[in-house]
Chain A
Amino acid sequence: MALFADLNIVNTSDTDRKRLQSLIENAAHLGYSTVAINHVAEFQGKKLEIAKPIAVTELYPSPPIVQRITSPHTRSYDIVAVLPKTEKLFHVACMTLDIDLICINVIEKQPFHFRRPSVNGAIERGIYFELAYSPAIKDSTMRRYTISNALSLMQICKGKNIIMSSAAERPLELRGPYDIANLGLLFGLTEGDAKAALSTNCRAALLHGETRKTALGVIYTVKKASATEEKDEGTPLSKRAKTKSD
């Protein structure tokens, strides 16, 4: 059961549906079973994307660079991701913010070092760190920053809770899942960790996103044709989950 997922396909403009479609078709051809479309939001602007171009399993993450994510729009997104640029924000994001993914900056030299208590706190809460690989494909200096940032993260987290994804804007920037698992070896992951970074960790991050919508991951409602029906969700990922019925 090796379901590969690519959790970062950049959606820069609403009008360019065709490009998005070709990206998704390319990802399906390469063997990805799940794809997430990325809405980049800066500070206060957030978009609500309701329409779906193709009916494949699609989910919508958004990496805002905001200081507080208390906007009501985040409820409609499946995954919420943050790209922290300062050490304080990183610490706050790891400990208290209600998010699923923390993106690691690969485009420039990290101005701060990762701290072990923040990273351990994030791992305990079930938050995953995301590494994007398409800048490494485009440019040589980005490649150096990607590798150095990734290695410094690996030293602290020892390869746990890592997701690799493409920040692809064009169909040619995608790579197959086995190639990316190999790139994970370059970043310092072990072979099992690298494969998990594409399959099981992605699935866990998606489930973590789902628990945000439900009552701490215990119950989720599924709308049937006319009436709502309650079902039990048996695998809570958030450590704060409490069983209300038992």
Chain B
Amino acid sequence: MVRFKSRYLLCEIVFENPLSRQCIEEKNIYKTVKDAIVRAHGDFGFGCCSLSLAVKYLNAYTGIILLRCRKDFYRVLWSALPFITFLENKNQKYPCFFNTLHVGGTIRTCQKFLIQYNRKQLLLLLKDCKTKGERESVERSVLSCSLKELEGDRS
């Protein structure tokens, strides 16, 4: 079966200043990741990772990104991610770091993991809620994401 197998790395970008999350874009992340690979593994690393390197999903509100690369070289990419210390956008540096959450073979497995992870984060937020209105909205979101999962399992 001739099919290009790839690995999808689900990462969370943690910023020092949570407001700068809105400034991330696909092009910036792609450029940053490429630079980090060049610095850590040189030209060889860049050559083998750039085969099908792409940013597949980006969520600016939570800082979650999904990177794709070839299955044979995902370790090269993964080992370069801890060395990223800032993202650059329009000549402004935003200090951050990448936290890898999950490595999957398909987008669907990463999506399933992300749904469960988001649910756990919502439950944590529920603990920290101060006003009743916040509690209700968080509870509603928790219920809504679990319903979607059931539908996905049934179909």
A30 lies within 8 A of chain B by Cβ: yes
A172–B16 CB distance below 8 A: yes
A171–B16 CB distance below 8 A: yes
- Nearest-CB residue, chain B, relative to A26: B14
Bound-complex Cα distance A180 to B97 (A):
13
A172–B96 CB distance below 8 A: yes
| Chain A positions within 8 Å of B99 at CB level | 30, 175-176, 179
Partner of B97, one of A133, A136, A175, A185: A175
Q: Is the interface of A mostly helix, strand, loop or mixed?
A: helix
Interface size on B, residues (CB 8 A): 18
| Nearest CB of A to B127, in Å | 13
Interface residues of A in 185-202 (CB under 8 A from B): 185-186
B75–A136 CB distance below 8 A: no
Partner of A136, one of B16, B78, B83, B100: B83
Q: Mark B101-127, 1 if CB is under 8 A from A, else 0.
A: 100000000000000000000000000
A218 lies within 8 A of chain B by Cβ: no
A183–B82 CB distance below 8 A: yes
Bound-complex Cα distance A81 to B18 (A):
36
A137 lies within 8 A of chain B by Cβ: yes
A183–B79 CB distance below 8 A: yes
Bound-complex Cα distance A180 to B79 (A):
9
Interface residues of B in 7-38 (CB under 8 A from A): 14, 16
B82–A180 CB distance below 8 A: yes
B39–A178 CB distance below 8 A: no
Q: Tell me whether A175 and B82 are in contact in the complex, defined as CB-CB below 8 angstroms, given that A30-B99, A140-B39, A185-B75 are known contacts.
A: yes
A86 lies within 8 A of chain B by Cβ: no
- Nearest-CB residue, chain B, relative to A174: B97
B47 lies within 8 A of chain A by Cβ: no
| Nearest CB of B to A83, in Å | 23
A179–B81 CB distance below 8 A: yes
- Nearest-CB residue, chain B, relative to A137: B83
B75–A179 CB distance below 8 A: no
- Nearest-CB residue, chain B, relative to A31: B99
- Nearest-CB residue, chain A, relative to B86: A172
Q: Mark A136-158, 1 if CB is under 8 A from B, else 0.
A: 11101001000000000000000
| Chain A positions within 8 Å of B85 at CB level | 137-138, 172
| Nearest CB of A to B45, in Å | 11
- Nearest-CB residue, chain B, relative to A171: B16
A182–B16 CB distance below 8 A: no
| Chain A positions within 8 Å of B16 at CB level | 171-172
Which residues of A are interface residues toward B (Cβ below 8 A)? 26, 29-30, 133, 136-138, 140, 143, 171-176, 178-180, 182-183, 185-186
CB-defined A-B contacts under 8 Å, sample of 6: A175-B99, A176-B101, A179-B81, A179-B100, A185-B75, A185-B79
Which residues of B are interface residues toward A (Cβ below 8 A)? 14, 16, 39-40, 75, 78-79, 81-83, 85, 95-101
Extra contacts, 4 of them, besides A172-B14, A179-B99, A183-B79 (Cβ < 8 A), are A179-B81, A179-B82, A182-B79, A183-B82
